[in-house]
Chains A and B, each alone.
Chain A
Amino acid sequence: MLQIECPWCGARDQEEFQYGGEAHIVRPENPESLTDTQWADYLFNRANVKGVHAEQWCHAAGCRRWFNVLRDTVSYKILAVYRPGEQPPGGEE
């Protein structure tokens, strides 16, 4: 039962949030220029990290804002919370 720090509202129970999967997957500028393989990679393939995972959450039962979370997918510990458009703290880890 996670407790997540919404960047706008503060710490709240997991049940207020909606999970959005891996963060920093950017929609291709020009999808028509991609091969089917490249498009499939964007569409379906995921890092599915065992360890520190950058992921999206939305405070759905609160401010309804999306944000990013760095979370360990084994210990479930949350290492950082940051806003959309920002890079994960800790640089090139």
Chain B
Amino acid sequence: MTSARRLQSGGLVNRSRRIRFKFNGREYFGHPGDTLASALLAQGVRLFGRSFKYHRPRGVIGAGAEEPNALVQVGEGAYSTPNLKATQVELYEGLTARTVNGWPSLAFDVGAINNRLSRLLPAGFYYKTFMWPKSAWMRYEHHIRHAAGLGHTPSLPDPDQYDKRHAHCDVLVVGAGPTGLIAALGAARSGARVMLVDEQSQLGGSLLSAPAVIGGQTGFDWASEVEVELRSLPEVTILSRSTVTGYYDHNFLSVNERRTDHLGPMQSDTPGSRERLWRIRAKQVVLATGAIERPLVFDGNDTPGVMLASAVSTYIHRYAVAPGRSGAVFTNNDSGYQAAIDMANAGMEVRAVVDVRMKAGADVSNAVADMGIPIYLGHVVPSVQSGLQGLKRIELAKLSADGRDILSHKGLVDCQILAVSGGWSPVVHLHSQSGGRPCYRESQACFVPGASVQDERSAGACAGSFRLAACLQEGADAGVSAAAQSGWPGGYVDIPVTVERDEAPLQPLWEVPAGALAGDRVKKFLDFQNDTTASDIRLAAREGYRSIEHVKRYTALGFGTDQGKLGNINGLAILAETLGKSPGEVGTTTFRPNYTPVTFGTVAGRTLGEQLFDPVRKTAIHAWHVRRGAMFENVGQWKRPWFYPREGEELHAAVNRECLATRSSVGVLDASTLGKIDIRGPDASRFLNLLYTNNWDNLQPGRCRYGFMLGEDGMVMDDGVTTCIAPDHYLMTTTTGGAAAVMSWMERWLQTECPQLKVYLTSVTDHWSVMSVAGPNARAVIKTAGCDRNLDAEAFPFMSMQTGEVAGIPARISRISFSGESAFEISVDANQGLALWEAIMTAGRDYDITPYGTEAMHVLRAEKGYVIVGQDTDGSVTPVDLGMDWIVSKKKDFIGKRSLSRSDTDRPNRKQLVGLKTQDPSRVLPEGAQLVNTPHAERPVPMVGHVSSSYYSATLGHSIALALVKGGLSRMGGTIYAHLMDGSVVPATISSPVFFDPENERTKS
């Protein structure tokens, strides 16, 4: 196969190398420098896809990010990527692509029936039907969903990596066309740190697409020269294939750099990321984002072969592709003439230049006339004729003076390509995202940036300056002044000389009349991807949808993957005409990030997976638990041993064994994850008095006390034991999950509310390894391990702490028990944690010491009726509700105290903590089970409480549960019913929450 449409010379493609690729199953080839679109056009392909709603055949219309039609699925398997624009896909060897719409094939698409039915399917038709029968929507929806959608999600996880970089710069220049290049140069020469970001593979922007002379050289050579100088400057960073996708507050911009897609799928052993997200904080921003040409709106303007004039020029100049054998131009401004000249120079037969205006710029019209191309001034193309391969001929007609009617038909002109230009739309997206409000400029019929809200300025075409000399001047000024405002005043750049042509102004023609009878019968497309037509806009207005935002939402105008870059302005102008307003009064819809779509993987970056999604915290003893085969539970960010199964054991067997071993001999728990806060200073006890519900004035050094911390709303927030180490030194423990929040809470109170208190806080959670040795033989094990303290109960009573050595390791030893056993909590330097653990395990061998996990810990504490904050409380529970009035001081103030006396909070019938014993002792209630007063009841059933903790107690030989029950404290011995999800009803007896050793004899022993 040859490239029928490839020019013999010119362009930026490397003809000496062929790149093979497949499109819709057929083999093609292109060259380095090609996009998928240019290579296909070179090989004569005209049909690129089907539209979303009517499944009309569509060709490529643009040459870049604005392309609405040529959407492709690129790559295979895990590398398959949906919805790429063929105009932006760079070729690589072996690339495979297929169109995203069209079934069973692109040429024959059964969905095209919608085109026949289109009279029934105006904008918003779905709001008016599919309502009967009532139950049928789900069936309708099923079909609608399958007809809709574009590309396919890959079926396999993404093998590629993505990463992020943070950057600060003095000046960020967005866009490396002539304006951006000269701006970057002007800024960079000052010594400022400059970043230049451009979405294309090569710098140059419009200079790649059109002939230009700058300072006596070609525009391309000038751009290369500027690039060389920029690259030589140490503070300049140039990012190609990189799009500024979002402009956020405080001059924060996101950049999506595409690093490997042009090379094809990366091999798995290739290091590096596919894409990178740059998070840039810029002192000053220069927007040089250019402008996008807009189509003209006429009957059949979506026919394959109708292309933007600038895209035609781009294919010819940059890619050396003549997109057809013959062409014509339809324009309302001078820029269309360049496409005629380019087409003629590329050997295409140019049959007509149809100009809406009565007068064109002398230079371009003379040049076109000199080439023998007929110019039809005051004429339009009201409609076109097409065949299977797209455009065949255009109709030519004379336009009335007011632009509203066709005066006479002038016959048909054969052509394969119609290059259209309806003027230019400055790319004001980023300006708008930055908070600016684009305003309408009547003289150019376009929206230009309004006043700057952030530290940004627009220059060149994106500011409405479409002439090269003005772009260079504005770019230079913008770059130099941006650098100066960022603290680098020494920038400079000479403005090179350019050749300027005489220009005649544009004449807006938002919609080409279609002849007297046509009215809204014909389809003049505004949004090509969503098939929104001019008549849809009028229908919306007729039905009362008159805000541009309503029209957008009702007609789907601008909701495509091109985000309305081509059609929105035409749509809002037609709305304006319909409402008798100016486009400026109608205004634009909000421009939202992203400017172009960004891969989710890029936004996610590397914070994924088992290791990096959220940091994993492990104790110093973790490796031992892993060796022992522990199952782990996530508690906050921590991995805690949940239980240690022996061979063949499931959860309950292991937990029963661990509990029994602890109750009968000795168990050991890794308690290192509990939060630990070191509190120092002369006012430490005063501060504790504020934080905790109980009194801390009289706690002696070496003694420990349990405390509840409430929110100011009176609800339990955290709990733990705090030890007095010295009169001005305490160590607080918190729950594992609550540690960080409690630390923040305390710091906040100290700094904002009580700055007069001399208290200093240090988080020491990770400094200490803590293990709880519990059970009747705990004391013996520690003695065996070697301890320099007298561990007897009289010398070392419950709730006291001593410093000493265990197994030769300096330790704080505390008589604290969450298990209800005689227990010693030993804290050592985290570096020594594993050594101590192993020493304890060795010492405990004769006592069959058993490591136990969080599940056994939960059972042991529930047997004692100890609550777990966050499990037995849920943000609506006070200490009084937990039956712990004794811990609430009546004398002093503390955080949350006042809330406890509010009318609802001191109501007697609140939900209160009780124990439950199922009447079938082997039946373990599910945690979360709802409790009801009667075994049978109609729904809705009044619920009086729920089970917060529930286990089988191997020690007691029956199930136990903790529950919050309305007025539960006054219902001891009563019966309550759990109505379970499986429909069963389980009766239970309300009891004290303390099931084991209510006198605390073991704890104290």
Residues of A within 8 A of B (CB): 1-3, 13, 18, 20, 26-28, 30-32, 34, 36, 39-40, 43, 56, 58, 60, 64-66, 75-76, 78, 84-85
Instruction: State the interface size on chain B (CB cutoff 8 A).
Output: 24
A65 near B899: Cβ-Cβ < 8 Å: no
Does any Cβ of A come within 8 Å of B928's Cβ? no
Residues on B with beta carbons closer than 8 Å to the beta carbon of A26: 753
Residues of B within 8 A of A (CB): 248-252, 281, 435, 453, 712-713, 744, 747-748, 751-753, 755, 893, 897-899, 901-903
B744 near A18: Cβ-Cβ < 8 Å: yes
Residues on A with beta carbons closer than 8 Å to the beta carbon of B753: 26-27
A1 near B249: Cβ-Cβ < 8 Å: yes
Task: Write the chain B residue with the least CB distance to A65.
Answer: B751
Contact partner of B435 among A32, A39, A58, A75, CB < 8 A?
A75
Task: Write the chain A residue with the least CB distance to B748.
Answer: A66
A1 near B751: Cβ-Cβ < 8 Å: no
B713 near A3: Cβ-Cβ < 8 Å: no
Closest Cβ–Cβ distance, residue B765 to chain A (whole Å)? 15
B250 near A2: Cβ-Cβ < 8 Å: yes
How many A-B contacts are there with CB distance less than 8 Å? 55
CA distance A39 to B714 in the complex (A): 12
A43 near B713: Cβ-Cβ < 8 Å: yes
Closest Cβ–Cβ distance, residue B543 to chain A (whole Å)? 33
CA distance A64 to B248 in the complex (A): 26
Return 10 A-B CB contacts under 8 Å, by A number: A1-B248, A1-B249, A3-B250, A20-B748, A28-B898, A32-B893, A43-B713, A66-B747, A66-B748, A84-B751
A39 near B250: Cβ-Cβ < 8 Å: no
Contact partner of B712 among A34, A43, A60, CB < 8 A?
A43
Residues on A with beta carbons closer than 8 Å to the beta carbon of B748: 20, 58, 66
B898 near A1: Cβ-Cβ < 8 Å: no
Residues on B with beta carbons closer than 8 Å to the beta carbon of A76: 249-250
Taking A28-B898, A36-B902, A58-B744 as known contacts, 16 extra A-B pairs with beta carbons closer than 8 A to each other, sorted by chain A number, are A1-B248, A2-B250, A3-B281, A20-B752, A27-B753, A31-B893, A32-B893, A39-B898, A39-B899, A40-B902, A43-B899, A56-B752, A66-B747, A66-B752, A75-B453, A85-B755
B747 near A2: Cβ-Cβ < 8 Å: no
CA distance A12 to B897 in the complex (A): 37
Residues on A with beta carbons closer than 8 Å to the beta carbon of B251: 3
A32 near B898: Cβ-Cβ < 8 Å: yes
Closest Cβ–Cβ distance, residue B733 to chain A (whole Å)? 20
Residues on A with beta carbons closer than 8 Å to the beta carbon of B901: 32
CA distance A58 to B747 in the complex (A): 10
CA distance A84 to B756 in the complex (A): 12
CA distance A56 to B752 in the complex (A): 9
Closest Cβ–Cβ distance, residue B853 to chain A (whole Å)? 32
Residues on B with beta carbons closer than 8 Å to the beta carbon of A31: 893, 897-898
Residues on B with beta carbons closer than 8 Å to the beta carbon of A66: 747-748, 751-752
CA distance A1 to B250 in the complex (A): 6
Residues on A with beta carbons closer than 8 Å to the beta carbon of B899: 39, 43
CA distance A89 to B920 in the complex (A): 69
Residues on A with beta carbons closer than 8 Å to the beta carbon of B250: 1-3, 76, 78
Residues on B with beta carbons closer than 8 Å to the beta carbon of A13: 281
Contact partner of A84 among B252, B712, B755, B903, CB < 8 A?
B755
Closest Cβ–Cβ distance, residue A65 to chain B (whole Å)? 7
CA distance A52 to B139 in the complex (A): 51
Task: Write the chain A residue with the least CB distance to B749.
Answer: A27
Closest Cβ–Cβ distance, residue A1 to chain B (whole Å)? 4
Residues on A with beta carbons closer than 8 Å to the beta carbon of B712: 43
